[in-house]
Amino acid sequence: MKFINNPLKKDWNKILERPTKTIDDIEGIVNKVFLEIKKEGDKAVSKYTQKFDGVLLEDNFVSEKEIKEAILEVSEELKEAINVAHKNITTFHKAQKTQKVSVETTIGVSCWQEKRPIQKVGLYIPGGTAPLFSTVLMLAIPAQIAGCKEIILCSPPNKEGKIHPAILFTANLCGVTKIIKVGGIQAVAALTFGTETIPQVYKIFGPGNQFVTVAKQLSTKYGVAIDMPAGPSELLVVADDSANASYVASDLLSQAEHGADSQVILVSTSKKLIEAVSSEIQKQLVELPRKEIATKAIENSKSIFVENNTIALNLINKYGPEHFIVCTNNNDFYVNHIENAGSVFIGNYTPESAGDYASGTNHTLPTNGFSKAYSGVNLDSFTKSITFQKITKEGIRNIGQSIELMAAAEGLQAHKNAVSIRLKNI
């Protein structure tokens, strides 16, 4: 990790840059795939699956037989772990349900708001260097609780034309309605346009690499909503001498192993801790199976020394981390004043991994600074709020003149007439 000593505020933007390609670098590729799939459907999907995943499939769909076989392949210990996570995630997301909001704004004027599920949603589950079956839990559980009728899951096949058995087991557990062997740009494009066999959806969820992120953003140009721009994973830890250096190092590495384009940042008021964490990273790194990936991510990452908590907090809010771990003598200061973060983890015994898997919170979170404007996935992500109103004769008498005056002032005579004709008949 690159050490940065007490940087000036004017240099923060440069220091906090993400190690990602610009959209211009990859938008051309994404556009090409989109247009081809829009025109040729399944034929183009098959072509790009063969090109990017190295396998030619006779059928994109996962059969009941494949699901049953996958369930047998998953160990009982892993099934139990997934069930524990399923319970906690379900508990947390069920608690997010809200009641109908109803109010009489004026005598005779009733307004209310109700939530309705998004009917058709697409879930993108990465399956390349790591089969993220945990993401199935994070997306399918709230979709099921919300009442989405069609839950379409896409995940890239391996060289044998299969999806990892843990993904299939979890999808089956969570009530996914269709599972499709397609990944990357072609999956997002297929969900955007629909093909002869792959349903079009109204909203696409899920993390992915930079190509998937750009593909999701492009899908919005064709009338499909997305959860958020969720690209390469990132983590920022703020820590001081009260933190355990080995814990901090393990948390930084847990995100670094996601991908070479991941970024981790340590912010500290203690140079001694920074040195200790750097040493621990080197010790722990050599033991990791994904050492090569984590090493590349660490090269893109930084340790930043600042003089006090106020400077640290301002820098962190400027960065807007996806994951934010707080291990300091004054955790409440950060917890109470953090404004931009996807998910916050507090204290020495709250690893980011807990949120990734089993504590109950959702791990699909905004990256690349989008936590300044986006929330992470939650139950409301799978619903729409619809407003209703009902006005009686007394109600239209009470607000009618105000409507007429406002409509006339805007030069919209037909708007005024719609009220006037009613008032005349009362």
Residues tagged active-site: 322-323
Query: Binding site annotation covers 255?
Result: yes
Vertex 82 angle, CA 79 and 88, to 5°? 145
Is-contact 172 144, C-beta < 8 A? no
Residue 124 dihedral angles phi and psi, to the nearest 5°: -100, 120
Helix axes 165-173, 76-94, angle to 10 degrees: 40
Nearest to 130 by CA among 233, 276, 28: 233
What is the distance between the alpha carbons of residues 78 and 72, in angstroms, rounded to a whole number? 12
CA dihedral (132, 143, 203, 229) positive or negative: negative
Does an H or E element contain 13, and which?
helix 12-15
Which residues have a Cβ under 8 Å from the Cβ of 387 and sit 6 or more positions away?
111, 112, 113
Query: Binding site annotation covers 258?
Result: yes
Query: Binding site annotation covers 113?
Result: no
For residue 137, CA distances in Å to 25, 81, 240 come to 32, 12, 34
Does an H or E element contain 256, and which?
helix 245-256
CA dihedral (274, 280, 286, 291) positive or negative: negative
Does an H or E element contain 318, and which?
helix 309-319
Which residues have a Cβ under 8 Å from the Cβ of 77 and sit 6 or more positions away?
none
DSSP 61: B
**Token pair belonging to 414:** 């037909």
Query: Binding site annotation covers 356?
Result: yes
Sheet holding 101-106, edge to edge: 101-106, 109-117, 383-391
State the binding site for substrate: 233, 255, 258, 323, 356, 410, 415
State the binding site for NAD(+): 124, 186, 209
State the binding site for Zn(2+): 255, 258, 356, 415
